Structure 1
Amino acid sequence: MKIERISIRRICNPINRPYVTAFGSQSAFNSILVSLESGGLTGWGEAAPGGGPFFSPYTDETSFCIARDFIAPRILGREISSGAELQELLQGIRGNEFAKAAFDVALWDLLARQDQLPLYRRIGGSGNVARVGYTFGVLNSYDELLAGIEKVTASGYPRVKLKFCPGWELEMLAVVRAAFPALTIHIDCNSAYTLADLPLLQELDRFHLAMIEQPLRHNDLLDHAELQRRITTPICLDESITSVQEAEQAIRIGAARFINIKYGRVGGITAALQIHALCGEHGIGCWLGGMGESSLGTTVVAALATLPNVNYPSDISPAEKFYVRNLGTPVLSTDRPGTYTLREEPGLDVVPEPDALRDFTVAAVHFEAPC
């Protein structure tokens, strides 16, 4: 299909309450939104690098500039029929995975709409149900945390993830494990530790966690491999996985037993599918995570979470949990807590709501191919 028109937007969407991790606190999530038009159809793609270079080296502003100045000119007016073809066209642009991801997702949405298939079927999903867990950040008290866990597990969520950082560590985990001895729990360290913290990290084995997510710095693959040799709890890599190549290297050196795939950080659906296949080939568990995307992006995460080798409940937070207003409609539906059911309409089946799109757009640029 010929890419006839391209629109690129920077989005800043306020959230209901500050979101606290080891990187700090944020009051809004920033993303870039791309639309591609061809043959009367429109595909939408979102990627959420954030407003600062904390979760990755990129921001919504840098991604917008790369998308505007380098990616759009390379693909406008071109015939593109697959994610692999788009990857080939963008191969000369180093890094900038979030910018690439927004275009890649928009292309997959466009292709699925053209084929009259829901996105999850177009990418090879094994069903229309995505299993999800529940994440707790740093709260005001242990009592608040315990009450929250009791509520979500009673409602049906199969596992919980706990943010783990200095000041919210072993004591917190001991309190939770004592209250919920059989619950599937894993912790997310967001790169807060080093091998100098080995004694603390070794203590985690006694809590029988499903995994420790990203305990060390994002660029410490060798140290993660060393840590995995010295603890029994599985390590899950998150921030370290920024490409198919990083995933391959991590698997090769034994740096992880699980990988959290975030489509925005690895370059889109095409790269996420390649990492999923790589995990399957090597017996590595995988699951999907989000980065504060709106309902457009969370639907992409849910579609990827239906893939056959996704063997752990994914992180898919409904947009209404975080955002004051939804950017896109319709939102993900759920029959019961712990699952999301994807609809059978063609493509992503989510489009931006015009008023929200206008209100949340910080910058925009539009391109049209000559006739």
Structure 2
Amino acid sequence: MDIERVELKLLKVPLKSRFETSFGEVTEKQFLLVSVHGGGETGYGESVAMDYPMYNEETTGTVWYMLEEFLIPKLFTSQVKQPEEVSEAFAFVRRNNMAKAAIEGAVWDLYAKQQGITLASALGGKKQTIDVGVSIGIEPTVEKVVEYVERFVEEGYKRIKVKIKPGFDVNVIEAIRRRFGSDLPLMADANSAYTMQQIDILKQLDDYGLMMIEQPLAHDDIVDHIKLQKELRTPICLDESIHSVEDARKAIELGSCKMINIKIGRVGGLTESRKIHDLCEKHGIPVWCGGMLEMGVGRAHNIAITTLDNFTVPGDTSASDRYWEEDIVEPAVKLAAPGTLAVPEGAGIGYRINELAVQKYLVRSAEFTKR
């Protein structure tokens, strides 16, 4: 592949409304938009790291540093012929997966554009549409959560995920079930908020027919989740604990979970995401694509990876207007039908960059060229 230049742009964008999880509240988000140029084409990637190390150890600041000091120089000196080789070139750096994923995704997009094919096709995906769900944060009242559920059910989303934490859990799920019945596809996401000492609370959730409970225990645990899964009828889904295909292999072999949430940034890129997908498919473990409050470029990458066969659970890739008044891609990501997104047909990610929006939210930029 011909890679001549890389650009980094730091954007700060306000959310339409606050979004709260068990580890904190977000009202605006910083993004790193990465563009890789070569052969007359430009590929785009987006870092999903947050301002603070709440979800994992990375931040927008650490991602910028890793890209500038290590990953971009390594990309320029590597003889990359296929996008899969980028993750191999970056293997000398431990973790920093969100930094790796941001630039690896841009290379994947560049490759697809140079080949004149969609990013989904480049990854081996075959779906023309994908089913999507929506994630609802922790709200001041249970009633407010129920209001949001009502809205998103009316919009046709095919799975509802609600964030929970100790003291805001069973009561929320019970209220949703009382209002919408047992047929609503519903799951709870704990974001590591519980311990084994609170197993009685988690066991109460068994009574509500949830699709899954996501990451109830510690962010780095696969051992206590084994014990917990044995006590629950509800499938456990692992998120924060899975950073690689090796993590997924160990969790599956140990019986730590029955589902896995694949987030491209968390696992280090599209190549590793595909490896985890393939492993889970081999072992009969359903996967789905989690969200990290992405803007349009990140959403486009999520759409592309979800076209692989074993993404059988609707993911978190809702329409752009779920979180943003204005997106950085054109057209904005919109539902093609209730609960369904169409896979773009254009080369690469299939969306154009809204340069006016990028300039509007731009905080900092830098350019790097191959010497």
Q: TM-score range by the shorter chain?
A: over 0.9
Q: Is the 8 A contact 1:2 1:78 kept in 2?
A: no
Deviation at 1:249, TM superposition (A): 1.5
Aligned to 2:238: 237
Letter in 1 for 2:97: E
Show the counterpart of 2:172: 172
Between the aligned partners of 2:77 and 2:118, the Cα distance in structure 1 is 26
Counterpart in the other structure of 2:201? 200
Q: Deviations over 1:6-65 (max 9, x none)?
A: 112222221111111111111112222211111111111112111000101000110100
Q: Distance in 2 between matches of 1:13 and 1:76?
A: 30
Alignment check: 8 A CA contact 1:193 1:217 kept: yes
Aligned to 1:120: 120
- 1:174-231 per-position Cα deviation (integer Å, ceiling 9, x unaligned): 1111222221111000110011111111111111111000101111110111111111
Give the TM-score normalised by the residue count of structure 1: 0.96
Residue 361 of structure 1 and its aligned partner are, at CA, apart by: 2.7
Structure 1 Cα separation of the partners of residues 62 and 10 of structure 2: 10
Return structure 1 stretches of 4+ with deviation > 6 angstroms.
none
Structure 1 residue ranges without an equivalent (≥5): none
CA RMSD of aligned residues (A): 1.5
- Matching residue of 1:43: 43
Match of 2:2 in 1: 2
Residue in 1 that maps onto 2:282: 281
Residues 67-124 of structure 1: CA distance to partner in whole angstroms, max 9, x if unpaired? 0000011112543122321112111011110110011111110111011111111111
CA contact (8 A) 2:132 2:157 kept: yes
Please say if residues 68 and 365 of structure 1, whose CA atoms lie closer than 8 Å, have aligned partners that are also in contact. no
Residue aligned with 1:8, SS: strand
Which is further off, 329-338 or 290-299?
A: 329-338
Indicate yes or no: 2:87 matched with 1:87.
Answer: yes
Once the 2 structures are TM-superposed, how far is the Cα of residue 151 of structure 1 from its aligned partner?
A: 3.4
With normalisation by structure 2, the TM-score equals: 0.96
Residues 247 and 30 of structure 1, relative CA distance in 2, 3 Å threshold: farther
Decide whether the 8 Å contact of 1:3 with 1:37 is kept in 2.
Answer: yes
The letter of the residue matching 1:238 is D
* Map of 1:145 onto structure 2: 145
Once residues 8 and 20 of structure 2 are traced to their aligned partners in structure 1, the CA distance between those partners, rounded to angstroms, is 29
CA contact (8 A) 2:36 2:110 kept: yes
The total of aligned residue pairs comes to 370
Inter-partner Cα distance in structure 2 for 1:42 and 1:138: 38
* Aligned counterpart, 1:265: 266
- Aligned-partner SS, 1:28: strand
Q: Matches of 1:294 and 1:174 in 2, distance apart? A: 32
List per-residue Cα deviations over 1:295-339 (Å, max 9, x = no partner): 110111111111101111111122222123212222223222210
Q: Give structure 2 stretches of 5+ with no counterpart.
A: none
Q: Secondary structure at the match of 1:314?
A: coil
Distance 1:154 1:27, change over 3 A: closer
Matches within 5 A, 1:288-327: 288-327=289-328
- What residue identity is the alignment partner of 1:211? M
1:348 aligns to what?
A: 349
